[in-house]
Structure 1
């Protein structure tokens, strides 16, 4: 089994507020290409969270690939019970729609949010239940919440065979160039 943790920037960190944003078009293209490569490399599962941004977009991309007879299963894992309940109605609806569409979904903690240790436990769960990670993240974005997951994965990889693939701003520019010349 080859299970992939995919995560990265939140939509607001990239300044993407709508589906027509040119940055979102590039990211959707990049996600599709990365997922196709992972499938070619025998990935069985995409395991990600429900955060707005790369996590939700990666689920959409994987589900669209599934429509094309790809054999990638998708799990949506949240750090705690009632994740997203503070979001606006549209974002809550999108999360519910994704949960209904994936092959598996569950919270890592059965409790509602109570303290930051749940987020650390979530990181540990994701690292221990996946075989590699793909981060849409750039080191220059120190304010990104994805930074914490990336650093945890790098630390985990010191003692484990845990490949980490980084899709940084330069790589996203490569995808933008490829998309432009299609």
Structure 2
């Protein structure tokens, strides 16, 4: 796999309202746990749309992995221009800090937000331009990732397209692993 798309829930869908909420560490640990074996097998690009939450945390993981995998690159391809316009200052700063370190930045549609079709076009682009998908998504809790997931499942019917889900159960396992590490068992 050369190009991996990563997506998942937005922060409010997880009940997380600050970038550095303690749960983000477990989400990042889960993403890292999935990414390391892929990077070891030659993953070259991680593709995100730059949305708040899982995607920006995934970007932070990619930057962290640069120490061990200096050739791993990050592409941020937004659905439309200026997607951060309505975000608060802290989120805008976080987003800008990710863009500043990204290896490639572009937008699927070269205009500002108009209609939901821009998100559908972005999802289609992500599936067609990547070799697989990693998502923080649990079918028990629908949310915005549902549309990308369903599109990927349909694409998978006709193409070799691996989809790896990080579920809430997986996150719980990460939390328990971290607690065991801290209690020195």
Q: What TM-score does the superposition give when structure 1 sets the normalisation length?
A: 0.93
- What SS does the corresponding residue of 1:155 show, helix, strand or coil? helix
Please give the alpha-carbon distance, in whole angstroms, between the structure 2 residues aligned to 1:94 and 1:21. 14
Supply the distance in 2 between the matched residues of 1:97 and 1:19 (Cα, whole angstroms): 13
Further displaced range: 88-97 or 98-107: 88-97
Alpha-carbon separation, structure 2, partners of 1:84 and 1:20: 18
Superposed CA offset, 1:108-135 (max 9, x none) = 1101111111111101110110000001
Q: Identify the range of structure 1 (62-71 vs 8-17) with the bigger mean alpha-carbon deviation.
A: 62-71
Q: 2:177 matched to which residue of 1?
A: 178
Partner residue, 1:103: 103
Gaps of 5+ in 2: none
Q: Distance in 2 between matches of 1:107 and 1:40?
A: 29
What displacement does 1:63 show?
0.5
- Once superposed, which parts of structure 1, at least 4 consecutive aligned residues long, lie more than 4 Å away? none
Q: Give the count of matched residue pairs.
A: 181
* Conserved? CA contact 1:4–1:43, under 8 Å: yes
Report the counterpart of residue 116 of structure 1 in structure 2. 116
- 1:19 positional shift: 4.7
| Shift in Å, 1:73 | 0.6
Question: Cα RMSD between the aligned structures?
Answer: 1.4
- TM-score, normalization by structure 2: 0.92
2:46 aligns with 46
* Structure 1 residues 76-133: Cα deviation after superposition (integer angstroms, max 9, x where no partner): 1100011111111221121111111110011111011111111111011101100000
Distance 2:87 2:136 in 1: 23
SS at match of 1:109: coil
Question: Aligned ranges for residues 132-171 of structure 1 at < 5 Å?
Answer: 132-142=132-142, 144-171=143-170
Which 5+ residue runs of structure 1 have no aligned equivalent? none
